[in-house]
Structure 1
Amino acid sequence: MKKLILIISLLMLALAVVGCGGGEKKAADGKAAVKVLKIGTNPDFAPFEFQDEKTKDYAGFDMDLIKALAKQAGYEAKVTSLAFDGLLPALMAGNIDVAISGMTITKERAEKVLFTDPYYKSGLSIITKTSNTAINNLKDLEGKKIAVQIGTSSAMAAKKIANANVREFNNVSDVYMELKNGGVDAAINDLPVNQYYIKTANNKELKIVGSILEAEDYGIALDKKNTEVQKKLNAALAELKKNGEYDKIYEKWFGKQIK
């Protein structure tokens, strides 16, 4: 009976080792416990997050940043791939601790989850086929077929365009494919992502037109109850900007930062 009670007690103790910053595991020396930060991302948003074809590791600006932030805050980063529109539900269900995926801080999202301080300022842009001379600005999209990624600020912006036929896709790669195949007249996506795609794919079929539609701040999302991790990540972000580590990560992916 004593052995049974001991086993039950140990099982209960093991189940209790779960906190706001994820689970814990022993450090290499076996002396200290390291909190694991469970990170959700949609690795289809280069150069912010993508899966390296050779190593299969998750790479990109967001990935480098969240790993540096986790380390600064005393966590071990563990990244999980999820669909973009599944990130916030996963947060609220407690399946992940944070979500970083080029996510714009919006009023609608802030009603459901917490956000860290902004870590990147972006903006939306229009991308069309190079041969398309009819679309040159936002007004020209009225009544046109537009591809966007589901659940994004790009989708929200497209739905405000008069008489537009908005087609939503799970992945950005599908958005570009639909545009290249002629299924839509244009696509709306984050400017740096559009730029990176055209540059890395050496793609002369597509071009960016018009000016930036609207400025956007990216933030790291957390569950409403996860205020402790929010504070730690904000402090870590401030420190990385102070000690120059943030600038190093930024320049690796985007070049010299204009301040």
Structure 2
Amino acid sequence: MKFTRRLIAGALALSVAGAALPALAQDVTQKLADESVIETIKKRGVIKIGLSIFKPWSMRDLNGDLIGFELDVGRELAKDMGVEAEFVPTSWDGIIPALVSGNFDTIISGMTITPQRNLTVNFTVPYAYSGLTILANTAMTEGFTLEDYNSPDVTFAARRGATPATTIAEMFPKAELLLFDEDGAATQEVLNGNAHATMMAEPSPSDEARANPDVLSVPFDQAFGAGGEGFALRKGDPDALAFFNSWITHKANTGWLKARHDYWFRGDDWKDQVAQ
């Protein structure tokens, strides 16, 4: 009898526990949803977006206002969420730590999705794609093959912490690499003859070569390190990741992302708005 009572008691306990499991799972799911940055954005009425300044992703116009592809994306995202967009310009080498520290809700700044970055942050599906090209000082690199750039006698300049710096180090490990906070400073080193070349995503190299035809050129009709660019967000937030992914997919399917990307990367109607 005692054994039978124990079996009945055990069965009842398992039954109660089994009934409690769905409720527990629902509580956990609700807690995750409540803690999502999406809820924070909705309550605040503002989405805070981290970005770095580099043409034509994000830049300041002649009045000092921020314009560019990323600004269009961020403002459209905010409009669809029913909130305002607040952009937080941040140096590239500190932008991921600033996101992790909670300085803003997401990074929308042409950030290439890489396994190394994915160890620290989560990425959405790509909302844009780009490749890198070499911008060279023509006189200093006359007659160079691609292999000639991989030499201790060659100096590259690049933006600190950005994908071009990593790609240069991987492709040309023997070359010297000078690091700067902005793409403009790296380009200036090449213009001044202090570096043989830099590497940037198009259309920046071709634009710089057209603006300085006597000094600069794009020596190879070849893109390197092509990859997708995603929004970066803090780990442990499945609701935010799901929302941003669905938004990007919708905007890609309707053609909105391509139209805005083509405007900034394939046209020049915007160039009279910024200092050349």
Query: In structure 1, what is the Cα distance between the partners aligned to 2:129 and 2:75?
Result: 20
1:232 pairs, out of 230, 243, 266, with 243
Query: In structure 1, what is the Cα distance between the partners aligned to 2:39 and 2:139?
Result: 50
**Aligned position for 1:57:** 65
Structure 2 counterpart of 1:92, one-letter code: V
The TM-score normalised by the length of structure 1 is 0.80
1:203 pairs, out of 212, 220, 242, with 212
1:249 aligns to 2:260 (yes or no): yes
Query: In structure 2, what is the Cα distance between the partners aligned to 1:102 and 1:137?
Result: 29
1:125 pairs, out of 109, 114, 133, with 133
How far apart are residue 113 of structure 1 and its match? 0.1
How far apart are residue 93 of structure 1 and its match? 0.5
Runs (4+) of structure 1 exceeding 4 A deviation are 22-25
How far apart are residue 240 of structure 1 and its match? 1.5
**Aligned position for 1:167:** 178
**Aligned position for 1:96:** 104
Structure 1 counterpart of 2:100, one-letter code: M
Give structure 2 stretches of 5+ with no counterpart. 1-33, 268-276
**Aligned position for 1:85:** 93
Query: How does 1:154-193 map onto structure 2 within 5 Å?
Result: 154-160=164-170, 161-193=172-204
**Aligned position for 1:48:** 57
How far apart are residue 167 of structure 1 and its match? 0.7
Please provide the CA RMSD for this pair: 2.3
Aligned pair in 2 of structure 1 residues 253, 119: CA closer, same or farther (>3 Å)? same
Q: Which string of whole-angstrom CA distances, capped at 9 and with x for unpartnered residues, describes residues 209-249 of structure 1?
A: 22112212111111113332222221111222233322331
Whether the aligned pair in 1 keeps the contact of 2:158 and 2:164 (CA below 8 Å) is yes
Query: In structure 2, what is the Cα distance between the partners aligned to 1:232 and 1:209?
Result: 42
Kindly, what percent of the aligned residue pairs are identical?
30
Query: In structure 2, what is the Cα distance between the partners aligned to 1:217 and 1:136?
Result: 30
Q: Which string of whole-angstrom CA distances, capped at 9 and with x for unpartnered residues, describes residues 14-38 of structure 1?
A: xxx996148568xxxxxxx563111
Whether the aligned pair in 1 keeps the contact of 2:127 and 2:252 (CA below 8 Å) is no
How far apart are residue 98 of structure 1 and its match? 0.6
**Aligned position for 1:113:** 121
2:37 pairs, out of 20, 27, 37, with 20
Whether the aligned pair in 2 keeps the contact of 1:148 and 1:187 (CA below 8 Å) is yes
Aligned pair in 2 of structure 1 residues 55, 19: CA closer, same or farther (>3 Å)? farther
**Aligned position for 1:7:** none
Whether the aligned pair in 2 keeps the contact of 1:46 and 1:196 (CA below 8 Å) is no
Give structure 1 stretches of 5+ with no counterpart. 1-16, 26-32
Whether the aligned pair in 2 keeps the contact of 1:135 and 1:141 (CA below 8 Å) is no
How far apart are residue 198 of structure 1 and its match? 3.6
Whether the aligned pair in 2 keeps the contact of 1:39 and 1:100 (CA below 8 Å) is yes
1:215 aligns to 2:226 (yes or no): yes
Whether the aligned pair in 2 keeps the contact of 1:34 and 1:74 (CA below 8 Å) is no
Aligned pair in 2 of structure 1 residues 19, 213: CA closer, same or farther (>3 Å)? closer
How many pairs align? 229
Query: In structure 1, what is the Cα distance between the partners aligned to 2:132 and 2:77?
Result: 26
Aligned pair in 2 of structure 1 residues 227, 73: CA closer, same or farther (>3 Å)? farther
